Copies of this chain bind each other. A is one copy, B any other.
């Protein structure tokens, strides 16, 4: 090792993640990336391989962050019902705040790349399955604490909540009126008994 890298690799990857997240794979050019990452073209290729490798690294970073964020939010709540309500409401609040709604990087990739590239089909599928596992664990805790009914179909409910989360996230990107989103969320959360 002789000359040290002048930029922060993780910071650069963060910047790439944000841009791919907002614009998708095809609509993001290498020039866009080097501009926002603040590095030169050959540095990008030397550090991250090529455009697809960089995208994959960015997506993996996102799914890890996203999973641990959701896990944390669900853990730090006294009531399971309240935890899920907060999860959905914060998502809604967040998306209405931003002018350009980026949605979920993983969902965006399911739509754009999963059907055409098995690598991303697997990566995104495993993330969604992992979310349902987190949801299951949370629901189980609620049953143990006596908050939720013991005959609840935990697996089905967790999976339905993932479906709802995805549906809501997509709808938020077209700025659907707030009451539409709120009403449907309330009804779906009523499945948690």
Contacts and interface: CB of A to CB of B under 8 A. Distances in A.
A176 interface: yes
A134 interface: no
A107 B170 contact: yes
Contacts of A124: 174
A127 to B, nearest CB: 9
A138 interface: no
Copies of this chain per assembly: 2
A160 to B, nearest CB: 4
Contacts of A186: 156
A42 to B, nearest CB: 25
A167 B176 contact: no
Residue from A102, A116, A168, A171 whose CB has the most chain B CB atoms within 10 Å: A171
Contact of A159 (B101, B110, B184, B190): B184
A184 B100 CA distance: 30
Given A163-B171, A166-B167, A167-B164, A112 B110 contact: no
A168 B156 CA distance: 13
A71 interface: no
A166 B170 contact: yes
A157 interface: yes
B102 A115 contact: yes
Contact of A112 (B111, B116, B163, B181): B111
Residue from A116, A166, A173 whose CB has the most chain B CB atoms within 10 Å: A173
Given A170-B170, A180-B129, A188 B160 contact: yes
Interface of A: 22-24, 26-27, 100-103, 107-108, 110-112, 114-116, 121, 124-125, 128-129, 132, 153, 155-157, 159-160, 162-168, 170-171, 173-176, 180-181, 183-184, 186-188, 190-191
